[in-house]
Every structure is written in structure tokens, then in C-alpha cells.
Amino acid sequence: MRKKEVFIVADNIISPLGATTAANFSMLTQNLSGVKEHTEFSMSDQPFFASLLNEERGGGTLTDKYTRFEKLLIRSIEEALSQSPIQLSDKRTILIISTTKGNIGLLETNEVTEELNQRVALHTSASILRDNFQCAHQPIVLSNACISGSLALLLAKRLINSGQFDHAVVSGADTISKFIFSGFQSFQAISPAACKPFDKSRLGINLGEGAGTMILSSDLNLSSGIQLSGGSTSNDANHISGPSRTGQELCQAINHAMKDAGVAAHEIGLISAHGTATLYNDEMEALAVNLAGLQEVPLNSLKGFYGHTLGAAGIIESIISAQSLQHDLVMGSKGFETSGVSMPLNISSAVRQVSVKHCLKMASGFGGCNAAIILSKQSIN
């Protein structure tokens, strides 16, 4: 049986740059960033750079029975659903949630009890969203480090390809707490200034808050004009926190994703890199891109605009990639000036008009996990 094609129907991004995809994309075309210096002493004793949501955008007027993390998911999903006829109450629709830490921040401000442990559990948030949206199925939660969002999209694609579902609503979110911030500090991965992906003077990451939702369907009539045409995942099996030193494993995911999409390397017109601005991640991605023969393809990282939004990153950055395909625009890599990786890359330093049909979205994370997704302009028969 021929696998079903998967089309993007609708989407939403909530970030410091805006509460809709259109608002976010407009801000990126103006080279405006959500990364700023903050003095949140509940999070860090020293000033730090991050992309943080204000109270209104982070939760708004939703009831306090929901946590900030859950409010972000609900608002983003509601906005995306409002753009399509797809309903989560439909038995042919599945909700997939991606996050790295969920409600872990509750442990910082509440006495640890069995009730709190249950509230922090990711399946609890899934059940709360199921009830809120009257989902026909218990939502699936994916939490696999920084590829969580990309992996959630890949799972949705496979569930639709196989005919198990006709539609999937994929939503990812994370909020930043002291626990999360101090974890990255312990790796000496936090930059003391605005991050500079792939630049020779890069000093590490900025963290970011946000949510992204993408609605996928096998129904051609609902398509926005972009397909999720291919995808794959791999693991370095190298180190718990350090990526591969060769890039071979990410390259393997890239090659398998292109094969899945039926796309050759010369047909890729844009690469949306993970681009954390850490020494080893950027170098590993440069190696992988060269191994895949994609070193001349325009490449960008959106971390200079959003910071690292963790479980939302793969979805937010895939949505921007889809917008880039629709508008034939390659976004710049904010903060980049001079290459700081050992292999050649065609890094986009500013917005530019380029005719693009296929985009590669890459992601990598702790534990050596990698994901690659191919987005394509829909073929017109």
C-alpha cells in the first residue's frame, strides 16, 4: 500500500516576537530578536541573556488550574486549530506533545509531595490537555532532549503515512526555570552575551521560552502548500552530553531523510540548522553537512532570534522553514560574522531572496540524538 502524503494545514508560534506565525516571521525578516539581557534573580544571581515571555504572552487570562507550561500549549493549539476544520475530538486525529522539562519548575516553588510528583509528571499534563480539548485519544508525549519537537513531527508523519490517523496536531513548549538554567550553567554552555551560532567568537547558548504548533494531514484539500516529505533519526552513541566528533551519525539521518523524501542533495535549497552556538554542536553540524555534500546550500540558525526553546525548537524552527519555502526567503543567522567551524558552510548572515523547493531541518541533543526533516513545496500535478 502506498504511504499517504503529509501536508501542513495550519500552524502557530508563541514567542517574545509575537503570538502568531505571521507576527514571528515578520519580526525575523526585520532582523529583530527576542533575546535580551535579563535580571531575573530567581533564576540566576547574575544578569543573563535569554528570550523570555512576558506574563500576558506566557499565559494570559487562562485559569490558574493550568500551569504556565500548559497555558502555552493550550493557547498555541487553540490558535492553530482556529485556522482549520480539524478537531481533536475526531477519532482520526491525534495530539502529540513535545517538551524537555514540562512542569519541572514546580519543584522549585512547592513542597515535594506525592501529589506534586504526580502533577509534574508529563502524562498528567497530557491528560489535562486531553480534557481541555475533548481529545478522542490520550495525547502522546515525546521528550527526547533537544530533538523532541522534530521527533514529534516525525512521529506524526509516520502515523499518518501508515494510515493510523488522518490528522495530527503537534505542539511543543518549554518554560525556563532555575533548574533548567543551572543545568546548562553546569556544562558551562550559557553565553554571557547574545549567542552567535557558527561564529568564531561564539561562547555558548541563550535559552528561550516559546510554543509552536503544527497541524498535519493527509487531506490534500486542507494543504497550505507545504509537505512534510521526509524524515529520519539517529544516535551518536558517543557521549551523554557531547555530540559526535565526526558528524557521521547526523549525516546518516540527513541521508535517510532525503531518501525518504525522494530528494537528492542538489535539490535542497535551504538548511535550518540546530545551531546552538556551542563549540562542539556547531562543529559537528558543519562536519555532517559536508559529509552529506550540502556545504554550498544556504544555511541558517534561528537561535539568535529565539534562543534555544528546547522542546519547542524543532517545531518553531520547522514552521519558520515552511514560511521560508512559501516566501522564497532565507532568514539570516543573527550574531554571525566570521565562520568558526573547520569545514565550509554557506551561512546566511542576512535575509535573502532565494528560490527554494526543499528545506532540510536538523536537530541534535544530549545523549547523542539527531533528527532530520525534509519540508517541500507541494508538487502540482
Mean pLDDT, to the nearest integer, of 147-163? 98
pLDDT tens digit sequence for 312-329: 999 999 999 999 999 999
Q: Residue 219: what residue type?
A: D
pLDDT tens digit sequence for 101-145: 999 999 998 999 999 999 999 999 999 999 999 999 999 999 999
- Tell me the average pLDDT of the chain: 95
Mean pLDDT, to the nearest integer, of 332-344? 98
pLDDT tens digit sequence for 156-175: 999 999 999 999 999 999 99
Quickly list H helices, 262-346. Answer: 279-291, 303-306, 313-327
**The pLDDT of residue 242:** 84
For residue 157, the tally of other CB atoms under 10 A from its CB is: 24
Give residue 120's Cα distance to chain centre. Answer: 22
pLDDT tens digit sequence for 246-264: 999 999 999 999 999 999 9
Cα separation of 88 and 130, whole Å? 9
Q: If pLDDT is split at 50, 70 and 90, which confidence band does 233 have?
A: very high
C-alpha cell of 180? 533548567
**The pLDDT of residue 61:** 59
Domains annotated for the chain, with CATH where assigned, are 7-222 (3.40.47.10), 226-377 (3.40.47.10)
- 117 CB-side CA count, 13 A: 3
Burial class of residue 343, CB neighbours in 10 A (0-12, 13-18, 19+): middle
Examine the pLDDT at 380 and tell me if it is beyond 60. Answer: no
**The pLDDT of residue 60:** 59
pLDDT tens digit sequence for 10-64: 999 999 999 999 999 999 999 999 999 999 878 888 899 999 998 766 555 567 8
Q: Are strands 298-300 and 346-347 parallel, antiparallel or unpaired?
A: parallel
Mean pLDDT, to the nearest integer, of 142-156? 97
pLDDT tens digit sequence for 58-111: 555 567 899 999 999 999 999 999 999 999 999 999 999 999 999 999 999 899
**The pLDDT of residue 335:** 97
Element (H, E) at 276: none
Examine the pLDDT at 381 and tell me if it is beyond 60. Answer: no
Cα separation of 113 and 99, whole Å? 23
**The pLDDT of residue 272:** 98
pTM: 0.97
**The pLDDT of residue 57:** 62
The answer for residues whose C-beta is within 8 angstroms of residue 343's C-beta and 6 or more apart is 286, 287, 289, 290, 295
Crossing angle for the helix pair 68-81 and 122-133, nearest 10 degrees?
A: 40
Q: If pLDDT is split at 50, 70 and 90, which confidence band does 1 have?
A: low
